[in-house]
Structure formats: structure tokens, C-alpha cells
A and B are shown apart, each in its own frame.
Chain A
């Protein structure tokens, strides 16, 4: 059941948006991984994140290892603090997620910068905002999903 939700996220992440909206696309896969690592840290943690990151690298054609590395680090943060983060209200969580996402995008940029010589554009940080806004919906949706299918 968890894998189905991650698979759906992978497919959605690959569907291209219109060119104007493209910079705003949040990283669905990471958001869903973070949710599962908060809700069920004994089932989804760094190993899963690493594998899914590798799939993501292959699917969107970034240098291998970039997404594996960044997903593992981010899921480490959420999985090791899940008891604290769970106690926050959803808006507070989404602020915290914004912080994590900013870290994620900067890390990813930094690693890619070493590998393929890219330059920083401020628009690379738009997904931080959209991602933290969509966290509220993802959280509520996945909680319903988890409760409905009694995933433990």
C-alpha cells in the first residue's frame, strides 16, 4: 500500500506541467516519503528513501546518486525526529517542511553544481513554497489513506 502511493507520486512527478508552471512543481515523491517516515518510521526510512531516490535519478535523468543522497538525508531528519514533529499542528508542520525543503533544494543544487556545472537561479527555490503549501493537503490525504487501509 505504501509502495502504491510512492509509485503514484513517481508517475505524477514525471507528468510534465505547462512550461510556465514547471518551476513551481513541488517534489511529490519527497513529500510522500517524508509523510511515511513520520507516520511509520519503522517501515519507511533511509533504505526506502535511498532506493526511491535512485529510481527518481533514473527517471528524471539527473546524475545517479543525487536524489538518493538528498532523499536519505531528508528522511533521516524526519525519521529521527518523528516524535517531535508529529506533535506539531499541521500548519506548524508545513512551516517546518518548508525549512526541510529549502535544505533539500540547496543540497541538491550544491551536489549537481559539482557534477554538472550549473549556476544558481532563485527560481530553483519556488518548490519550497509550493511544497510546504501542498504539505497540508498531502498530510490530510495520506492520513485518510493510511487510516482507511489500516496501514501500520
Chain B
């Protein structure tokens, strides 16, 4: 029962220590990268939690797969076959065009675009911070994932890797309000930037002059400037333009092309620099 007395001073001291330590952590976290050794080992520490929390949804999808009827599977199969046929047909054209493109580039004495390394990864169903938009994927530095890598799905750019653990990493979605991508308009190659605002179905284009040639329905693709996102991936479609001449800039809203609310499988892209480093090893 001696615990009842002499506790208060100690509690306050503990609180002060905790507050100071948290302050140091916050500052330290803000000014170091998410791929530092400490951060990576800390992230590795919590990854068992991710796998535990993923079990229920994994179980649900497993049971729904097993309960699917043969008829459904056959229908899906035929659908996928037609899709593959169409894609293959496009791919033939693509190879021809790629050859032609590299020849033309050679004629112009410019460097050809190299193929980049890529792997497929799965999204773990993990609840993330309410204040930021992130997902957890099941690949980490054991699969050579590095911080800042671009992540795409089958339709367009999803985001980039911000924290790496040994078997899991965290992807910041392009709609988070700390995220921006340099883009160009597909129609006329005007360069601009797409910024997230914290909504899953909307992004904004900051500082767009009134005179800029941009229209509803324009498709924005990544411009490759900034060396983070490879060139030419679809990013967003323009959905709304407010040109109020009394304001310094037009307000332009766009909708992400990737289906960010139902991502399941993602592709991790390595930029060329990483590949060169690997060859050196």
C-alpha cells in the first residue's frame, strides 16, 4: 500500500521526460529520411503486427475465392482471355513502335529510354493514420525496395514509397497533402504540378496562370522531371476549372486515374539510377 504515497512527483517527472523524448523524436523524424537504419529496424519491429492485422481480410478473400462457383470462374476466365487477346494485339504494335522510336532517337543522337526493373506487390489491408493517406505493401528492403520509389497500378501512378521495413513498406498515396508530382498535359505538353489535398478522389493543380491552355478532360501524365516518377505514366484527368480573374491563379481540380480506393495489386518501379548501381556491385 506504500504505492499510494510519494507517487505524484515521480509521475510529473515521468511526464516531463516523456514529453521531451517525444519532442526529440518528432524533430528527429522530420529531419531524417524514412530509410535510415534506425527507422528501418523500427519499421521491421512492427511488421508482425501488420501480418496479424491482415489475417481477417486475407481469410475473407480466401473464403470468397473458395466459395466462388465454377460458372463465375469460367465467365471470368473467358473475359480475361478476351482482354489478353486485345492486349497482345496492342503489344505487337507496341514492340514495332518501340523499335521505331529507338531508331528515331538514335538518328536524333539522343539516348534511348531504358527498360526499368519492376516487381508486383500486394497491399496489406492495414488502417493508417487518419490524417495522412498511406497504404502498406508486402515488400521491403529484402526485395531491394528503396525510399522514394514510384508505385503504379494498372491504370496510373499511385504514389511513392516513404518508409521501408524488412518485409513491409509504406506507400504515400498521390492524394496525400504532402505529395506532389511534376506532370505535363498529354494534349499539348504544358508542364505543371499535381498536388494532393487529402481527398481520395481529388487533386489540385497549384499556381496555374489564367492564360494556360488547359481544358476539362485533359489527361495529365508524369513528366519525369524531378527524377522520381518515370516519364509518361497517367496521373489524373482534369475535372473542374475555375477561372476567376480577380484571383492571381486559376483553380484547377483533377481526379486521379489510378483507382486509389480499391488498390489491391501494385507495381513497384525502379528508376534507372538504381539499376546502374546494381551493375556496379
The stretch among B128-136, B150-158, B181-189, B222-230 that forms the contact with chain A is B128-136
Residue pairs across A and B with CB atoms within 8 Å: the count is 129
Q: Which residues in B have their C-beta under 8 angstroms from that of A117?
A: 177-178
Contact A116 B23 (CB under 8 A): no
Residues from chain A with Cβ under 8 Å of B12 in the complex: 76, 80
Q: Which segment, of B40-48, B140-148, B271-279, faces chain A?
A: B40-48
Tell me whether A112 and B18 are in contact in the complex, defined as CB-CB below 8 angstroms, given that A16-B125, A64-B26, A80-B8 are known contacts.
Answer: no
User: How far apart are A53's CB and chain B's nearest CB, in angstroms?
Assistant: 8
Does B79 reach chain A (CB closer than 8 Å)?
Answer: no
Contacts of A79 in B (CB 8 A): 11
B56 at interface (Cβ–Cβ under 8 A)? yes
Interface size on B, residues (CB 8 A): 44
* B35-54 contact mask (Cβ, 8 Å, vs A): 1 or 0: 00000001101100110110
Kindly list chain A residues whose C-beta atoms are within 8 Å of the C-beta of B50.
14, 59
A69 CB-CB contact with B under 8 Å: yes
| Chain A interface SS verdict (over half) | helix
Is B14 interfacial (CB-CB < 8 Å)?
A: yes
Contacting residue for B178 out of A14, A76, A116, CB 8 A: A116
Question: Chain A residues with Cβ under 8 A from B53's Cβ?
Answer: 11-12, 14-15
A130 close to B (CB within 8 Å): no
Cross-chain contact A14 with B21 (CB below 8 angstroms): no
Q: Restricting to A34-93, which residues have a CB under 8 Å from any CB of B?
A: 41-42, 45-47, 49-50, 53-55, 58-66, 68-69, 72-73, 76, 79-80
